[in-house]
Amino acid sequence: LSITQAHLLALAFAGSYVGSIYVSQHARLTYASNNSTERAHERVRQRDDSGVIRARLKAVAFSTTLSCLAVVEVAHVHSAGSFAYSMSLLGVNATWSTLLPSLIAPVLFAGPLYVAFLDGRLPIPSPVSRLVLLRNYVAAPITEEVAFRACILAVYHMAGASTKKKIFLTPLWFGLAHVHHGWEVYNRLGCTRVAAMNAALSAVFQTAYTTLFGFHCAFLFLRTGSIVPPIASHVFCNIMGLPGFASDL
């Protein structure tokens, strides 16, 4: 497998994941302008609507499954690998040795956790629907880590990419996959010039911090050979959110 082929497969994995949520009409968001009628506002679909969440969960689950099957097929064709070899490439390995690496993210958040303790509050998600909780803390971390970490790292490994490339290059796919959220911000803020500026800043910021987080998860995956620590870190960071550096001073 060549590096170029690995790039193309990674593009396919990332593109299919993001693209899947736009294929179904039920998964796409709809917006209403300030001048829209009341009926138009009633037809607005937001990302936290139950119908949208269900449609998107089905879409990304299907896309992630296809990506995993593609890795299995590529491993069989290009590396003559067995099914067990394919599973090892995907990090399907949960042993006690993966427990301590899963605690790295909580350790990095020791400061915010201590501040929360002093304030007498816990980093518990605010009351939201069960579907939102399922998406944020179960489905999204699992499917994103499997698709963007396990599948993409697997093809770069078969292409003979260096460890440095696997840690610092592959997370760019994860970061770029979040650029489309800028379109949501632009529409939600009214499609104005100010909205465009806010959307651009939001997209750049989200791409940057998701890429940085990807460095961490790629390192965990490569050191442990398991997808469990990256998923655990993803879940924990989704619960905690971004650290509020200024508010904790």
Q: What is the pLDDT of residues 166-191, one digit of tens each?
A: 999 999 999 999 999 998 889 888 88
Say yes or no to pLDDT of 220 above 70. Answer: yes
Return the bridge partners of 30, or none. 45
SS3 202: helix
Residues with Cβ < 8 Å from 166, sequence gap 6 or more?
A: 153, 156, 157, 218, 222
pTM of the model: 0.89
First to last CA, the chain: 50
| Predicted pLDDT at 112 | 82
* Residue boundaries of the structural domains of the chain: 3-248
Between the ranges 36-45, 97-106, 121-130, where is the mean pLDDT highest? 97-106
> Which residues have a catalytic role annotated?
144, 178
pLDDT, the chain, mean? 89
If you average pLDDT over residues 139-145, what whole number do you get?
Answer: 97
Say yes or no to pLDDT of 244 above 80. Answer: no
Say yes or no to pLDDT of 245 above 70. Answer: no
- Record the tokens describing residue 102, joined without a space: 């899963």
pLDDT-based confidence at 30, cuts 50/70/90?
Answer: confident
Contact criterion met (CB below 8 Å) for 147 and 177:
no
Say yes or no to pLDDT of 248 above 70. Answer: no
